Amino acid sequence: MRTLSLIGIGAGDPEHVTMQAVAALNRVDVFFVMDKGSQKDDLVQLRRDICARYITHDKYRFVEIEDPVRDLSIVSYPERVQRWHEARVALYQATLSRELGEHGRGGILVWGDPMLYDSSLRIVEQLCARDPQLTYDVIPGISSIQVLCARHRITLNQIGGAVHITTGRRLQQGFPAGVHDVLVMLDGECSFRTLDEPELQIYWGAYLGTAHEILIAGKLGEVATQIEQVRADARERHGWIMDTYLLRREQPRD
């Protein structure tokens, strides 16, 4: 039986790697890393640094898999993503059968936690469905949401309140109904600009847990332009950016 371990490695700070993840890292023979192009070299390097720091033997190796390009001619977003996942599954399948021994253990180092906006689990489920000799386990990691809240020293929810986690794309359809706290990820367009609610509180963080970390908080009407500018400058400087934010409406007191 071959095994794949999906290991959450935290959102940028190597000290967020848990003891459980360290034990799992030490059991892996081959780490499979999706190469997402030179702009994300920093992120691949961080994975290598984590292994060098926490693995106590030198018998492991890295295999890079070139990430397939998304076909932008497919208009439907879900279909485009589905095709892209299928291409990734095919690539993984070919690479696993070439690189992983009959009883080998492969590792996939997942940014943050594997349960949140990450396709690795879906890909691995599909790989296991195609190969009865392949199984997998999941090691949780510190998510960027946890780091955002810790850095701003805030709770994610207000007392007894619900929290809505969404993407920038969906936020553009409006502030979700029925909640006072909305956590936004995967937003390349500062979608908070589309909300006409200057009193909303925003807690924004970029490169959380890394040496480049930036934090801004305040009323949307007061800091939205600043965030846009800071974000654009940082993206230009580093060649990539990862940012996330919490939008908070004051919850009425009963």
Ligand X SMILES: C[S@@+](CC[C@H](N)C(=O)[O-])C[C@H]1O[C@@H](n2cnc3c(N)ncnc32)[C@H](O)[C@@H]1O
- Using CB positions, name the residue nearest to ligand X: 112
Among 243, 246, 247, 248, binds ligand X (CB under 6 A): 243
Q: Pick from 118, 193, 212, 251 the residue near ligand X by CB under 6 A.
A: 118
Query: Minimum Å distance from CB 253 to ligand X?
Result: 31
Of the two residues 106 and 209, which places its CB atom closer to ligand X in the complex? Answer: 209
Residue 65 is a binding residue for ligand X (CB under 6 A): no
Site for ligand X in 125-144 (CB under 6 A): 143-144
100 versus 143: smaller Cβ distance to ligand X = 143
* 150 belongs to the binding site for ligand X (CB under 6 A): no
Residue 116 binds ligand X, judged by CB under 6 A: yes
Shortest CB 118 distance to ligand X, Å: 4
What is the 3-state secondary structure of the chain? CEEEEEEECECCCHHHCCHHHHHHHHHCCEEEEEECCHHHHHHHHHHHHHHHHHCCCCCCEEEEEECCCCCCCCCCHHHHHHHHHHHHHHHHHHHHHHHCCCCCEEEEEECECCCCCCCHHHHHHHHHHHCCCEEEEEECCCCHHHHHHHHHCCCCCCCCCCEEEEEHHHHCCCCCCCCCEEEEECCCCCHHHHCCCCCCEEEEEECCCCCCCEEEEEEHHHHHHHHHHHHHHHHHHHCCCCEEEEEECCCCCC
Minimal distance, residue 139 CB to ligand X, in Å = 13
5, 166, 191, 244: which one binds ligand X (CB under 6 A): 244
Closest to ligand X by CB, 152 vs 249, is 152
Degrees to nearest 5, angle at CA 128 with 116 and 45: 50
- Here's the x/- map for ligand X, 68-107, by CB under 6 A: it reads as ----------------------------------------
Residues of this chain that interact with ligand X (CB under 6 A) are 11-12, 111-113, 116-118, 143-144, 185-186, 205-209, 242-244
